[in-house]
């Protein structure tokens, strides 16, 4: 762990003020423990700046003393990017202000420590929509979501987090502040620097604020559908988009065993359409008027019945019923705790290749571990699957945990064989850094490393995440 000099500590505490730092062991342990508890970090010092200026002064001090930094938002990451491993931790959770909302420009400026729900509520108060939506929206922060280029359930219509930003304010490794909070949609004046920091996982600077895109508010129609095969699910997506165009907001694939898993884990959860078929699809269409969205969805599902792609379907009659559909989908990740072991991967392949990928990857893993079970769900509309290999807690033999490296290598190799990505929306962090260097084109890694060295020559910003240095 980094040994901090008394000169550094005294100066840092002066910059941050009495409420802006902690050396309390409980506070340090909390920020060094990710929410799933799958690994454990450590940090000698927790900084909680309240302003961009405080953040900049602290980063400048760290650069002068060679003290490494791990920025942290809501600590909801899944790839070991925001957990300190000896670095000091700079938590952004005191920087939560909405700085401005411009309804006519369809934009808002928000600080990096604000949770996603704050942006959603501010947009709603202005009769606008901020469309990013994911299970941890009450905890995940704007800065963290940008730094990991988060996805969520509405990527099909609105894109990833980087598609939802107009500008950024960033503290660079030197302590300089880059104010790029422009709300412009056309600004063709050179390198688009905001995209360097979106997805960089804190390795190039600390995002302190962002200008986000807002959209007109919409009304939704949601359906729960049963299908016979993953091939039918992909064909159904194309059919629904033929009818609804880009008003298809979400298209989530859910296996029957995941529904049963949630029912066993969460009391009073009911399957909207009990069926022996292996797949469910949660479809959402959004338009300016609810009746128009429902009409389009009914028309698409009618065509799907005629094409024998859908065996049964129900359209939500109320917001509460739609929420009950989404509750099942959003509870799947936590309900996997019912398995003794679950090896999880966040991957993407071209939508058209999803059925063949599932068959091929499942068969390859079964060849290694015949008793393996699978929970495969996610955002089929954009090709992103959450692919989990599981072992029941009451299995006769417990072999999966000991085969983790071999299982992950099979998944990675299968993903690459299908022209996919081994990280769709969760990021790289430390967990996938080395594997990506193995499979990523050398020119890409060399370019990333050159950018890192140019912007952060002293390697103080979240070192050893994304790329090795």
What lies within 8 Å, CB to CB, of 281 at 6+ separation is 223, 224, 225, 226, 227, 233, 236, 251, 252, 253, 254, 380
DSSP class of 250: E
Share of the chain above pLDDT 90, in %: 91
Model pLDDT for residues 157-167, shown as the tens digit of each residue? 999 999 999 99
The answer on pLDDT for 334 being more than 90 is no
Looking at residue 395, its pLDDT comes to: 79
The answer on pLDDT for 170 being more than 80 is yes
Fold of 219-418: Alpha-Beta Plaits (3.30.70)
The answer on pLDDT for 287 being more than 90 is yes
Model pLDDT for residues 224-261, shown as the tens digit of each residue? 999 999 999 999 999 999 999 999 999 999 999 999 99
Tokens representing 383 are: 């090709």
Domain ranges of the chain: 6-91, 98-216, 219-418
Looking at residue 294, its pLDDT comes to: 97
Task: Say whether 65 sits in a helix, a strand or coil.
Answer: helix
User: Is the CATH number of domain 98-216 3.20.20.70?
Assistant: no
Looking at residue 52, its pLDDT comes to: 98
- Alpha carbon distance 83, 41 (integer Å): 6
Looking at residues 334-355, what average pLDDT do you find? 90
Looking at residues 210-235, what average pLDDT do you find? 98
Residue 31, CA distances (Å) to 21, 35, 39, 41, 287 in order:
12, 9, 12, 8, 41
Measured distance between the N- and C-terminal CA atoms of the chain, rounded to whole angstroms: 18
The band of 335, judged by pLDDT with boundaries at 50, 70 and 90, is confident
Mean pLDDT across the chain:
95
Looking at residue 41, its pLDDT comes to: 94
Looking at residues 374-379, what average pLDDT do you find? 96
Model pLDDT for residues 35-80, shown as the tens digit of each residue? 777 788 999 999 999 999 999 999 999 999 999 999 999 999 989 9
Looking at residues 290-319, what average pLDDT do you find? 97
What is 6-91's CATH number?
3.30.43.10
The answer on pLDDT for 336 being more than 80 is no
Model pLDDT for residues 384-443, shown as the tens digit of each residue? 999 999 998 777 788 999 999 999 999 999 999 999 999 999 999 999 999 999 999 999
């Amino acid at each position: 762990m980094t040994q901090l000099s008394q000169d550094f500590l005294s100066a840092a505490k002066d910059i941050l003020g009495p409420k802006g730092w902690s050396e309390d062991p409980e506070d340090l342990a909390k920020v060094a423990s990710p929410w799933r508890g799958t690994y454990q970090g450590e940090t000698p010092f927790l900084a909680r700046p309240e302003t961009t200026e405080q953040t900049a002064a602290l980063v400048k001090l760290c650069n002068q003393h060679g003290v490494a930094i791990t920025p942290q938002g809501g600590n909801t990451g899944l790839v070991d990017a925001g957990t300190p491993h000896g670095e000091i931790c700079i938590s952004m959770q005191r920087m939560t202000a909405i700085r401005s909302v411009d309804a006519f420009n369809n934009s808002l400026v928000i600080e990096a420590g604000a949770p996603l729900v704050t942006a959603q509520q501010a947009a709603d108060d202005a009769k606008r929509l901020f469309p990013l939506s994911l299970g941890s929206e009450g905890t995940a922060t704007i800065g963290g979501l940008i730094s990991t280029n988060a996805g969520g359930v509405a990527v099909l219509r609105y894109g990833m987090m980087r598609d939802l930003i107009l500008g950024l304010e960033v503290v660079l490794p030197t302590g300089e502040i880059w104010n790029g909070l422009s709300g412009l949609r056309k600004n063709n004046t050179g390198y688009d620097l905001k995209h360097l920091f979106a997805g960089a996982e804190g390795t190039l600077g600390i995002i302190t604020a962002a200008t986000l895109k807002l959209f007109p508010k919409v009304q939704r129609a949601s359906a729960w559908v049963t299908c016979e095969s993953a091939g039918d699910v992909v064909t159904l997506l194309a059919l629904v988009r033929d009818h609804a165009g880009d008003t298809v907001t979400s298209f989530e694939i859910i296996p029957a065993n995941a529904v049963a898993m949630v029912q066993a884990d969460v009391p009073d959860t009911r399957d909207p359409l009990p069926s022996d078929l292996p797949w469910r699809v949660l479809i959402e269409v959004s338009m300016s008027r609810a009746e128009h969205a429902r009409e389009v969805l009914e028309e698409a599902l009618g065509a799907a019945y005629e094409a024998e792609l859908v065996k049964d379907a129900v359209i939500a009659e109320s917001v509460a019923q739609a929420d009950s559909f989404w509750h099942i989908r959003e509870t799947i990740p936590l309900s996997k705790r019912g398995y003794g072991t679950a090896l999880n991967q966040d991957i993407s392949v071209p939508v058209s290749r999803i059925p063949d990928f599932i068959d091929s990857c499942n068969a390859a893993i079964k060849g290694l571990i015949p008793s393996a079970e699978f929970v495969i769900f996610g955002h089929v509309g954009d090709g992103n699957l959450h692919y989990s290999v599981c072992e029941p807690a009451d299995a006769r033999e417990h072999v999966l945990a000991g085969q983790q490296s071999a299982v992950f290598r099979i998944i990675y190799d299968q993903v690459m064989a299908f022209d996919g990505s081994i990280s769709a929306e969760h990021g790289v962090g430390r967990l996938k850094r080395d594997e990506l260097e193995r499979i990523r084109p050398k020119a890409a890694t060399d370019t990333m490393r050159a950018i890192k060295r140019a912007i952060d020559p002293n390697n103080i910003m979240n070192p050893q995440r994304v790329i090795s240095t």
